[in-house]
C-alpha cells in the first residue's frame, strides 16, 4: 500500500501567509524593543560600562577623579561601596542636563554624596574644571576618566589637553571605549537603525586606528592600551582601556 504524505501545515506553504507572518512577527518584535528601550539599555550598556568603571576603580586608590561624561552616574554608583572603601572621590561633569538631574537623584538614593558629585558642563570649559579640582596647595586631580564619552566629542585631542591642565604632573587619563576594527559595509546604517529602535545613541563609528593616531600624536605617553577583560571583543569591535600619562 502506497503511503501518502500527510500535509499537516498547508497554510505554511502559502507564500502570502508566510510573508504576512514574517511582517507581523518582526513588527511585534520592533514594538517590543522600542517599548523596552530603557531596560535594554540597563541590560546591555549598564552591564558593559559598570564593568569598565570597575576596571578603572580597581587601579586607583585615595584619589580625586574627574569623570568626563559621567551620564546619570549609575555605572559609577554601582561601585559606591568600593569608592568609599578606597577613599576615592569622583567629580562628574556631563553636558546633558537631564542626565545631571538623574545623577543627583541616583547619588542621593545611594547615599553617596560625600564621594560622588555631578555638575552640568562641558569638558572644554576649563574654568569649570578648575572650580571642581580639589582645594589645597596642588589643587589638581589625581586622574581623569572618560567612559564611553571620548568618541562623542568633536575634538578629542583638545579635550585631552583641557583636562591635562587640571591634572597633577604625572597624573593619568583613563579612557574606556569600544573601537571598530575596520569598516563593515552597512554597520553605520545598522547603528543608526539601532538608535531609532532602541532610542539609545550608540555614538558615531570610532575606528581604532583613528583614535590611536590621536593618542600617538599627542604629547602624552600611552602607558597602556589593552582589551578590557570580560567586555566586548569580536571581529568588529573591541572595548579597550587606554591609559595616557600627562
Ligand atoms: C555614552 S555616555 C557614557 C556615560 C557614563 N560615563 C557610562 O559609561 O555609563 C557619554 C556621555 O558623555 C556626555 N558628553 C557628551 N559630550 C560632552 C561634553 N562635551 N562634555 C561632557 N560630557 C559630554 C553625554 O552627555 C553622555 O552622558
Ligand atoms: C540611566 O540612564 C540610562 C540611559 O538613558 C537609562 O536607561 C537608565 O534607566 C538610567 N538609570 C537611572 C537609575 O537613572
Ligand atoms: C601607535 O603607536 C603604537 C606604538 O608605538 C603602534 O604600534 C601603532 O601602530 C600606532 N598606531 C597608529 C595608528 O599610529
Ligand atoms: C575620599 C572621600 O570623599 N571619602 C568619603 C566617602 O564617603 C564617606 C562617608 O560616606 C566619607 O567618610 C569619606 O570621607
pLDDT digits (tens, 9 = 90+) for 176-203: 999 888 766 676 677 667 666 665 555 5
pLDDT digits (tens, 9 = 90+) for 4-28: 556 655 555 666 667 777 777 777 7
Domain shared by 51 and 8, yes or no = no
pTM passes above 0.95 = no
Q: How far is the CA of 94 from the centre of ligand 1 (A)?
A: 6
Averaged pLDDT for residues 119-141: 95
Distance CA 100, CA 150 (A): 18
The answer to whether the CB of 212 is under 6 A from ligand 3 is yes
Question: Nine-digit cell at 53?
Answer: 568603571
The answer to whether the CB of 213 is under 6 A from ligand 3 is yes
H-helix or E-strand containing 91? strand 88-94
Q: How far is the CA of 130 from the centre of ligand 4 (A)?
A: 21
Instruction: Classify residue 152 by its DSSP letter.
Output: G
Instruction: State the total domains in the chain.
Output: 2
Domain shared by 227 and 108, yes or no = yes
Which residue's CA is minimally distant from atom 12 of ligand 3?
Answer: 213
**Selection from 150, 163, 120 nearest residue 214 by Cα:** 150
Owning domain of residue 31: 1-35
Domain shared by 87 and 208, yes or no = yes
Per DSSP, the three-state class of 172 is strand
Amino acid at each position: 500500500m502506497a503511503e501518502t504524505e500527510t500535509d499537516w501545515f498547508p497554510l505554511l506553504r502559502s507564500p502570502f501567509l508566510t510573508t504576512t507572518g514574517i511582517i507581523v512577527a518582526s513588527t511585534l518584535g520592533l514594538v517590543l524593543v522600542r517599548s523596552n528601550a530603557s531596560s535594554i539599555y540597563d541590560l546591555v550598556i549598564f552591564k558593559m560600562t559598570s564593568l569598565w568603571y570597575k576596571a578603572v576603580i580597581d587601579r586607583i586608590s585615595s584619589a580625586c577623579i574627574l569623570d568626563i561624561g559621567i551620564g546619570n552616574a549609575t555605572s559609577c554608583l554601582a561601585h559606591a561601596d568600593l569608592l568609599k572603601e578606597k577613599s576615592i572621590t569622583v567629580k562628574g561633569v556631563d553636558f546633558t542636563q537631564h542626565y545631571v538631574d538623574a545623577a543627583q537623584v541616583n547619588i542621593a538614593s545611594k547615599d553617596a554624596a560625600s564621594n560622588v558629585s555631578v555638575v552640568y558642563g562641558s569638558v572644554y570649559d576649563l574654568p569649570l574644571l578648575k572650580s571642581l579640582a580639589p582645594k589645597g596647595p596642588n589643587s589638581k586631580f589625581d586622574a581623569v576618566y572618560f567612559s564611553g564619552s571620548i568618541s562623542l566629542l568633536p575634538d578629542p585631542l583638545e579635550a585631552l589637553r583641557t583636562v591635562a591642565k587640571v591634572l597633577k604632573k604625572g597624573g593619568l587619563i583613563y579612557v574606556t571605549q569600544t573601537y571598530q576594527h575596520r569598516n563593515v559595509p552597512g554597520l553605520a546604517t545598522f547603528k543608526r537603525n539601532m538608535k531609532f529602535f532602541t532610542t539609545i545613541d550608540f555614538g558615531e563609528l570610532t575606528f581604532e586606528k583613528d583614535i590611536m593616531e590621536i593618542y600617538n600624536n599627542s604629547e602624552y605617553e600611552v602607558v597602556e592600551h589593552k582589551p578590557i577583560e570580560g567586555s566586548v571583543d569580536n571581529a568588529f569591535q573591541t572595548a579597550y582601556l587606554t591609559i595616557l600619562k600627562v
